[in-house]
């Protein structure tokens, strides 16, 4: 709220200040011109009389005349040489021409005595002193009035800000997977329409996700039943099919079962409320323990692992990380020729990268984003002939997003190079945290 209040207040205060200075400047210019002309008229008559009388008497008698006028007018009067006046050259010339000069700095009027090199000085005049101080009074009044604008702005903004915070909190909860989160703003709120629209959207989203989950589970259940029947009837088929036909039928049934399993996995991973089973682990040791399984995936391929000597500690769901790496290695084995390289690196204290590279034909740059979409198979080498159903990389992307990371296709001179980038530490809600007291980042 502080940032929003400051912006709004500065905007209002700036507009008010410009308007006040503009109107005040016009008024002050008009008032000063009128006041100066009036004062000049009064002082001109007085100075004309005084200077004329001084011009008719010898200079030694001037102090007596000046004291007499000063007592009658209750104003300080004295004389000084023209060449000692602390005035600009233009003002000196103005005095020499017989005109009156008003000096606001010391609140005095000055005029040269005719036929002499002396200047008659009247003041300080109280009115001029007050007008000089008035500038600061006006400035202080404008500042005080501007500061007082903060109170009504704050009172007006506070209920709006409270409703915005309530709406923001509901949006964050919904984004974190709490599909029952609602803003529930009062009907009297100025944001009631926005809040009700948000609640309707959240309700619709909850219904859609729930319906999709129910549909996926129902389809998987209904598909498994005929698959079991097919296996049973295949076993009881008379006369028994040839071994080749039986193996082909069995292969097709296993492909259907694999498709169902992948669909269920992808559906579960895309549930916002899916909880992560977080644990702490050292990634280098985990990768070395998994290397034998990855080599088994590519019996005809050479699978190598590269890890830094320093330990890399990670906090996340080990089960999902294993599934993601199995999919990446399986994808590399399926499309590579003879070698798969697995690397574990940590370029920054906050992020680690698990990369898998094959020596196959690679993927075109324009397909780098499409390849992570579900059921997407690319032309040429990465199509149905290589196996798979197009969900492996989509599942990897879902696992990366659940951990606050990402999967990307990196530029490579040979084959396809995938980088699974993950934050080093996660809190219990699946968001990156800056520190881990048990395992400091390597």
Residue 434 binned pLDDT confidence (cut-offs 50, 70, 90): very low
Which pTM was predicted?
A: 0.51
Write the pLDDT tens digit of every residue in 52-95: 777 777 777 777 877 777 776 666 777 788 878 878 888 888 87
**E strand intervals along 83-178:** 101-103, 108-112, 118-122
Closest CA to 96 of 81, 111, 80: 111
Task: Report how far residue 307's alpha carbon sits from residue 302's, in angstroms, rounded to the nearest whole number.
Answer: 17
Q: What is the pLDDT of residue 342?
A: 93
pLDDT in tens, 180-230: 888 888 888 878 888 889 889 988 888 887 776 777 667 766 777 777 777
Q: Return the exposure string of 221-255: e unless at least 16 CB atoms fall within 10 Å of the residue's CB, then b.
A: eeeeeeeeeeeeeeeeeeeeeeeeeeeeeeeebee
Give the span between the Cα atoms of 369 and 85, in whole angstroms: 83
CA distance 110 to 223: 109
- pLDDT (tens digit, 9 = 90+) per residue, 116-138? 778 877 777 665 655 655 666 77
**pLDDT digit string (tens) for 388-397?**
567 788 888 8
Predicted local confidence at residue 431, as pLDDT: 43
Read off the pLDDT of residues 188-198 as tens digits, 9 standing for 90 and up: 887 888 888 98
Residue 153: C-alpha distances to residues 140, 149, 184, 192, 231 (Å): 21, 6, 25, 21, 75
Strands (E) in 33-105, as ranges, are 77-81, 101-103
pLDDT at 442 over 60: no
What is the DSSP annotation of 255-295?
A: HHHHHHHHHHHHHHHT-TTPPP-EEEEEHHHHHHHHHHHHH
Selected residue with higher pLDDT from 12 and 338: 338
What is the reported pLDDT for 381? 44
Q: Residue for token digits 């004291």?
A: 67
DSSP, collapsed to helix, strand or coil, labels residue 78 as strand
Nearest Cα neighbor of 395 from 324, 305, 304, 339 is 324
pLDDT at residue 280 tops 70 = yes
pLDDT per position as a tens digit, 268-279? 776 655 677 888
Tell me the CA end-to-end span of the chain in Å, nearest whole number.
38
| pLDDT score at 248 | 80
Q: Which residues, other chains included, contact 310 with Cβ-Cβ below 8 Å and sequence gap of 6+?
A: 442
Please report the pLDDT score of residue 288 as a whole number: 92
Among 330, 326, 347, 321, which Cα is nearest to 404's? 321
Angle between helices 126-148 and 150-175 (to 10 degrees): 20
Those residues whose C-beta lies under 8 Å from the C-beta of residue 108, and which sit 6 or more positions away, are 102, 121, 122, 123, 124, 125, 128
User: 438, 311 in Cβ contact below 8 A?
Assistant: no
Q: How far apart are CA 19 and CA 42, in angstroms?
A: 34
- C-alpha to C-alpha distances, 164 to 160, 175, 186, 198, nearest whole angstrom: 6, 16, 12, 12
- What does DSSP assign to residue 421? E
Using pLDDT thresholds of 50, 70 and 90, give the confidence band for residue 109.
confident
What is the band of 435 on the pLDDT scale with cuts at 50, 70, 90? very low
Angle between helices 283-297 and 318-335 (to 10 degrees): 40
Mean residue pLDDT of the chain comes to 76
Angle at which helices 392-402 and 243-269 cross, to 10°: 20
């Amino acid at each position: 709220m502080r940032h929003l209040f400051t912006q709004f207040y500065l905007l209002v205060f700036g507009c008010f200040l410009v308007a006040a200075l503009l109107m005040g400047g016009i008024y002050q210019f008009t008032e000063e011109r009128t006041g100066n002309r009036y004062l000049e008229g009064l002082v001109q008559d007085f100075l004309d009389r005084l200077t004329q009388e001084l011009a008719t008497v010898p200079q030694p008698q001037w102090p007596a005349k000046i004291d007499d006028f000063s007592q009658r007018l209750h104003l300080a009067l004295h004389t000084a040489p023209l060449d000692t006046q602390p005035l600009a050259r233009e003002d000196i010339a103005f005095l020499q021409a017989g005109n009156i000069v008003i000096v606001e700095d010391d609140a005095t009027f000055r005029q040269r005595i005719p036929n002499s090199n002396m200047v008659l000085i009247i003041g300080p005049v109280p009115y001029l002193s007050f007008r000089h101080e008035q500038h600061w009074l006006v400035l202080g009044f404008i500042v005080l009035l501007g500061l007082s604008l903060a109170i009504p702005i704050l009172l007006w903004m506070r209920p709006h800000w409270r409703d915005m915070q309530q709406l923001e909190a509901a949006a964050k909860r919904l984004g974190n997977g709490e599909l029952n989160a609602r803003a529930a703003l009062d009907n009297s709120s100025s944001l009631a329409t926005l809040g009700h629209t948000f609640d309707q959207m959240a309700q619709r989203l909850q219904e859609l996700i729930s319906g999709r989950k129910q549909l996926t589970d129902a389809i998987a259940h209904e598909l498994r039943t005929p698959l079991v029947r097919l296996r049973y009837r295949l076993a009881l088929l008379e006369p028994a099919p040839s071994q080749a036909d039986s193996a082909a039928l069995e292969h097709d049934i296993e492909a259907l079962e694999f498709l169902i399993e992948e669909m269920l996995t992808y559906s579960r991973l895309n549930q916002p409320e899916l909880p992560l089973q977080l644990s702490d682990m050292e990634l280098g040791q985990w990768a070395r323990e998994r290397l034998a399984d990855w080599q088994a995936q590519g019996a005809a391929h050479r699978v190598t692992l590269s890890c830094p000597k320093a330990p890399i500690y990670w906090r996340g769901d080990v089960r999902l990380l294993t599934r993601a790496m199995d999919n990446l290695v399986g994808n590399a084995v399926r499309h590579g020729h003879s070698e798969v390289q697995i690397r574990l690196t940590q370029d920054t204290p906050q992020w680690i990268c698990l990369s898998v590279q094959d020596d196959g034909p690679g993927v075109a740059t324009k397909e780098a984003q499409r390849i992570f979409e579900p059921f997407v198979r690319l032309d040429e080498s990465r199509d149905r002939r290589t196996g798979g159903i197009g969900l492996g990389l989509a599942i990897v992307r879902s696992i990366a997003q659940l951990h606050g990371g990402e999967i990307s296709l990196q530029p490579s001179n040979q084959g396809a190079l995938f980088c699974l980038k993950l934050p080093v530490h996660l809190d219990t809600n699946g968001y990156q945290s800056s520190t881990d007291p048990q395992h400091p980042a390597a």
